[in-house]
Amino acid sequence: MSGVQSDESKRSTVSQSLPAQAVVERVLELSRASDCMVLVNENSTANLRWAGNSLTTNGVTRSREVTVISLVEGDKGTSVGAVSRSGLRDDQLAELVTASEEAARQAPAAEEARPLLAPEAAATATAAWDGAPASTDIGVFSGFAPALGGAFERSGAAGTQLYGYAEHTMASTFFGSSTGVRLRHDQPTGTVELNAKSADPAHSTWVGRATRDFADVDVAALEAELSRRIGWARNRVDLPAGRYETLLPPEAVADMMVNLYWNMGARDSFEGRTAFSASRGGTRVGERLAKLPLTLRSDPAEPGLECEPFVLADAPGRRISAFDNGLPISGAKWISDGELSRLVQTHDSAVLTALPLTPHTGNLILEEPKATASLEEMIAGTERGLLVTCLWYIRSVDPRTMLLTGLTRDGVYLVEDGEVRGAVNNFRFNESPVGLLQRATEVGRTVPALSRELGDYFSRTAMPPLRIPDFNMSTVSQAS
Amino acid sequence: MREIDHEFLSLPLRALADAALQRARDLGADHADFRLERIRGQRLVLADGSVESSGETDSLGFAVRVVHNGTWGFAAGTELTTDAAAAVAAQAIDVAKVASVISTERIELAAEPAHRDATWVSSYEIDPFTVSVRDKTDLLAEWSRQLLADRRVSHVDAILLQAKEQKFYADTAGTTTTQQRVRLAPEVEIVSTSGGRLESMRTIAPPVGRGYEYVPTVAAELEELPELLAAKLAAPSVEPGDYDLVIDPSNLWLTIHESIGHATELDRALGYEAAYAGTSFATLDKLGSLRYGSPIMNVTGDRTVEHGLATVGYDDEGVATSSFELITDGILTGYQRDRRISHLTGHERSNGCAFADSPATMPIQRMANVSLAPDPRGPSTDELVRRVDNGIYVVGDRSWSIDMQRYNFQFTGQRFYQIRNGRITGQLRDVAYQASTTEFWNSMTALGGPETYVLGGAFNCGKGQPGQVAPVSHGCPSALFEKVRVLNTAQEAGA
């Protein structure tokens, strides 16, 4: 006998039997709006989380979200209504379409409204329209989990505690419009983070990687890097706040550059709201931002960092807009040879700013093509400076200068005469990524790098190490 | 009290729960719980009076969590059939089996009396989802037009977030709860970009667990916003140094959230969030002895206060919620806990701090409404200001950051008023205050009275992996802090 009383056991239950493609077609058939777009996102995830050399939580999920975007013509222009639902039954699609159309009728005309793309203007799908959604499950960790178990055993024997998280997601997105566009994209995303805390020496250090399928995750290599850093911590050096020559490894650079990228909206910049706004109006496109010939770019076809090559948005917006859905993305050089060259655009903002239409892209690469130095070689070339492996709790302080505050975490080291001498206390920093690009004096070789703080949301990044001559450590943090 | 919507009650809640829990039992689960949720969200964003973004979300799904041979297993699904519910339960068992290979800690839960057929609905008058989008956008657009009519205002951003959460929970111990709550967050910000400078000023009305009846009350703040912005633009840049601070509840709630709320989460203090959100300096060995703040400091965790964003009848582990002490007369006296952590630390019962932000996420320990009590005979904010010779009155929240053990923090605000000889002399620019948690709270020398008390809060407190967001409120009075370090943010940026 169940502990739950059942007075509804005879109630008919409900199902989701229509495949995603059929949902797209059904929604478009049901639509009575002037135009209609529909996105069906089929997501599956698997995750493992651990602490103190033991698994703590885990899970698998599978979900479908249907978004209907209705465009309704009125006296004052086109209004739009976007409604998303998950857990939707097949027999509720009509209700969802009606809700979207009602939202559009209630909304004022959208200033950025524009005709939807025709198939000939839209991108090419990256996956065959037909066929079941790509999916993942707990089996994706079949090789990783035993390796992790081995790491737990070795860490326990060494007096080290491992903490961390691994997640794998498969997202299949099906897009259809009343103008005849049909696009599908399957996106795998995976991350693994490993944090080691040792008692002797007392130290905490972190490594993280992005992966598409976990087949390339080398737990032993991650363990080795953690051990190397714990070894660096045998000496402890207390340093005061101040400006230090600082080596930022690729992961820390990713934290700062993703923040910068998220502030590259063209409309906001044109309106005077960002560090890329010109003081006399307009944007700073064309201005030199970096002394070094750095390039910050995005490319949906970047090997290992592949992402959707067309716009997929579930609502209108300033930075990415559903009115651009299906628009091809070929990537952009946001900063080219040190000069600000592009901003993140919607079709509407591109008209406003009279700049090329370069939509938001789901990856980010910072590079100096001629740079070859590894982080190790840059350490070897350092007379005295800090090696700051992780940044954390980064928040905007002043949007106009893009001043950010945050903390160092899980590994600050003193480098002297080309060698790591010991672990240093943590600091609070106040720095601007724009300022870092301006002041960087050396750049190394670009490698895939997972942002510690933002990797959960934006994991497809490749960054170089940077040397900053005067990184602003505002105060000492007692955290260890 | 309002009633739970019939539409939610008409779902096959108990049939699915029965199917899932029975399958879990059949497969050997020591414990199983079933949670079915519908969460509606609506987000309206207006830029300069035009709708920039208007979207609705509606998530419906369920999750099964099991303890099998001492290991967690969790799975979630969206197909509302008894077969699917049973299959998800079996999937959760499978996950537990895979996980058992690398689990060394045996999961056990603190006991909780069975709450059979319990229902709870939050306190509100008007369900925001019964108000038309047109009425809402018309109101925000009208506010925006009024503000844009002032030549000192370059841009107006108006945002209204609304959520309605319906949860059905059942477990193998016999608890069955059905709950519904609503919340909303209205916000209007004006921006000036004149002269190549960027400044903004935002309303300080907090997000609340109320209905749509709350939204029109924000209008009371709008009239003064352009003048406040103009004064900020004309204000001198602060001279960095140590100042006495009178901190308004509209700013102090966030300092409480970061430096007390998260620091007194026992899962953090025990290290379970070490790799991500972080740990806490307030470790378990300091319970009962840590001098957290001055003796006037009394802080509670609470999930029962009316209109609180974390307020609910039963948490996501079926635990009846309550109010409990965290800091008493300045000493650390308690923690926020869920059932696993409660058992692990020898507590007979959880104090009800488990929450999952969606049907697809596993409940984790989340924050109660953590609030600082006022002085029952305390002064007004004006009186606190009169006690200060050289200081700053801080109003409204803005930027925030704290380290992973909750020691070192830095906050800015919406506006900062210079205090000289007990009088406010005008605004200052470029202010941030920076301190270490216990140093800061031990510098608190006076609390405002009950009339200064405000329940502030946030819609989007983040924690956990996979990342989850939770709404939470923090009540506090105005308070006086002595000799707090103040930075000049323009100088920090290298100006």
CA distance B235 to chain A (A): 16
Is the residue at A342 inside a domain?
Answer: no
Can you give the pLDDT at residue B2? 85
B13 has a chain A CB within 8 A of its CB: yes
Global pTM value: 0.93
Residue with more model confidence, B432 or B53: B432
Do A219 and A250 lie in a common domain? Answer: no
Of A225, A241, A271, the one marking the end of a domain is A225
With beta carbons less than 8 A apart as the criterion, state whether B468 and B457 touch.
Answer: no
Task: Kindly state the average pLDDT of the residues A445-468.
Answer: 97
Between A83, A86, A395, which is nearest B401 by CB? A395
| Structure confidence at residue A125 as a pLDDT band (50, 70, 90) | confident
Do A49 and A167 lie in a common domain? Answer: yes
Do A102 and A205 lie in a common domain? Answer: yes
Can you give the pLDDT at residue A280? 86
Task: Kindly state the average pLDDT of the residues A45-54.
Answer: 92
Can you give the pLDDT at residue A3? 32
CB contact (8 A) between residue B95 and residue A59: yes
Between B50, B72, B102, which is nearest A108 by CB? B50
Task: Kindly state the average pLDDT of the residues A13-35.
Answer: 87
Identify the structural domains of chain B with CATH numbers, from first to last.
6-234 (3.30.2290.10), 241-492 (no CATH)
Using the predicted structure, report yes or no on whether residue A1 has a pLDDT greater than 60: no
Do A459 and A430 lie in a common domain? Answer: yes
| Structure confidence at residue A16 as a pLDDT band (50, 70, 90) | low
Residue range B427-454, pLDDT digits in tens? 999 999 999 999 999 999 999 999 999 9
Residue range A359-408, pLDDT digits in tens? 999 999 999 999 999 999 999 999 999 999 999 999 999 999 999 999 99
Q: What are phi and psi of A417, to 5 degrees?
A: 50, 40
Do A157 and A58 lie in a common domain? Answer: yes
Residue range B320-378, pLDDT digits in tens? 999 999 999 999 999 999 999 999 999 999 999 999 999 989 999 999 999 999 999 99
CB contact (8 A) between residue B171 and residue A3: yes
With beta carbons less than 8 A apart as the criterion, state whether B128 and B42 touch.
Answer: yes
CB contact (8 A) between residue A3 and residue B174: yes
Name the residue in chain A with its Cα closest to that of B431: A397
Of A200, A225, A250, the one marking the end of a domain is A225
CB contact (8 A) between residue B281 and residue A279: no
Average pLDDT, chain B: 96
Query: Among the listed ranges A10-14, A201-205, A332-336, B137-141, which one has the minimum average pLDDT value?
Result: A10-14
Can you give the pLDDT at residue A88? 82
CB contact (8 A) between residue A314 and residue B55: yes
Q: Which of B30, B465, B491 to mutate to test the interface with A (most CBs of A within 10 A)?
A: B465
Residue range A399-436, pLDDT digits in tens? 999 999 999 999 999 999 999 999 999 999 999 999 99
Residue with more model confidence, B55 or A43: A43
Residue A63: its chain B contacts at CB < 8 A?
Answer: 61, 76, 78, 360
Residue B15: its chain A contacts at CB < 8 A?
Answer: 6, 8-9, 11, 13
Q: Which secondary-structure segment (H or E) carries B220? A: helix B219-222
Is the residue at A92 inside a domain?
Answer: yes
CB contact (8 A) between residue A57 and residue B362: yes
Q: Which of B448, B417, B165, B442 is nearest to B309 (CA)?
A: B165
Using the predicted structure, report yes or no on whether residue A309 has a pLDDT greater than 50: yes
Token pair belonging to B454: 């405000």
Is the residue at A83 inside a domain?
Answer: yes
Tell me the residue range of the domain where A448 lies. Answer: 232-258+371-477
Can you give the pLDDT at residue A2? 30
Query: A–B: how many Cβ contacts below 8 A?
Result: 332
Q: Is the peptide bond before A469 cis (omega within 30 degrees of 0)?
A: no
Q: Which of B171, B266, B408 to mutate to test the interface with A (most CBs of A within 10 A)?
A: B408
- The sign of the torsion formed by the CA atoms of A215, A216, A222, A224 equals positive
Can you give the pLDDT at residue B99? 86
ipTM (interface pTM):
0.89
Between A12, A52, A430, which is nearest B271 by CB? A52
Name the residue in chain A with its Cα closest to that of B77: A62
Can you give the pLDDT at residue A103? 87
Task: Kindly state the average pLDDT of the residues B48-53.
Answer: 86
With beta carbons less than 8 A apart as the criterion, state whether A276 and A283 touch.
Answer: yes
| Structure confidence at residue B197 as a pLDDT band (50, 70, 90) | confident
Percentage with pLDDT > 70 across chain A: 97
Can you give the pLDDT at residue A110? 87
CA distance B205 to B221: 8
Sort strands A339-340 and A332-336 into parallel, antiparallel or unpaired.
antiparallel
Task: Kindly state the average pLDDT of the residues A216-225.
Answer: 96
Task: Kindly state the average pLDDT of the residues B160-172.
Answer: 98
Using the predicted structure, report yes or no on whether residue A148 has a pLDDT greater than 50: yes
Do A238 and A209 lie in a common domain? Answer: no
Q: Which of B117, B156, B197, B276 to mutate to test the interface with A (most CBs of A within 10 A)?
A: B276
Name the residue in chain A with its Cα closest to that of B14: A6
Is the residue at A312 inside a domain?
Answer: no
Do A168 and A243 lie in a common domain? Answer: no
Distances (CA, A) of A130 to A25, A125, A171, B303: 12, 11, 15, 49
Task: Kindly state the average pLDDT of the residues A189-199.
Answer: 96
Residue A65: its chain B contacts at CB < 8 A?
Answer: 59
| Structure confidence at residue A6 as a pLDDT band (50, 70, 90) | very low
CATH number at residue A188: 3.30.2290.10
Residue with more model confidence, A317 or A342: A342
Task: Kindly state the average pLDDT of the residues B304-317.
Answer: 98
Do A248 and A205 lie in a common domain? Answer: no
Task: Kindly state the average pLDDT of the residues A341-352.
Answer: 97
CA distance A12 to A32: 30
Task: Kindly state the average pLDDT of the residues B243-267.
Answer: 98
Between B45, B77, B436, which is nearest A62 by CB? B77
Do A248 and A160 lie in a common domain? Answer: no
Average pLDDT, chain A: 93
Is the residue at A59 inside a domain?
Answer: yes
Q: How many domains does chain A have?
A: 2
Do A406 and A432 lie in a common domain? Answer: yes
Can you give the pLDDT at residue B495? 65
Using the predicted structure, report yes or no on whether residue B53 has a pLDDT greater than 90: no
Of A208, A225, A242, the one marking the end of a domain is A225
Is the residue at A420 inside a domain?
Answer: yes
Do A193 and A144 lie in a common domain? Answer: yes
The radius of gyration of chain B's CA atoms, rounded to the nearest angstrom, is 24
Residue B12: its chain A contacts at CB < 8 A?
Answer: 8, 11-14
With beta carbons less than 8 A apart as the criterion, state whether B121 and B314 touch.
Answer: no
Is the residue at A10 inside a domain?
Answer: no
Using the predicted structure, report yes or no on whether residue A192 has a pLDDT greater than 80: yes
Sort strands B364-365 and A412-416 into parallel, antiparallel or unpaired.
unpaired
CA distance A339 to B395: 39
Sort strands B50-68 and A77-86 into parallel, antiparallel or unpaired.
parallel
With beta carbons less than 8 A apart as the criterion, state whether A70 and A84 touch.
Answer: no
Is the residue at A469 inside a domain?
Answer: yes
Work out the burial of residue B311: count CB atoms within 10 Å of its CB; fewer than 13 is exposed, 13-18 middle, 19 or more buried: buried
CB contact (8 A) between residue A393 and residue B466: no
Do A157 and A239 lie in a common domain? Answer: no
Can you give the pLDDT at residue A11? 32
CB contact (8 A) between residue B154 and residue A314: no
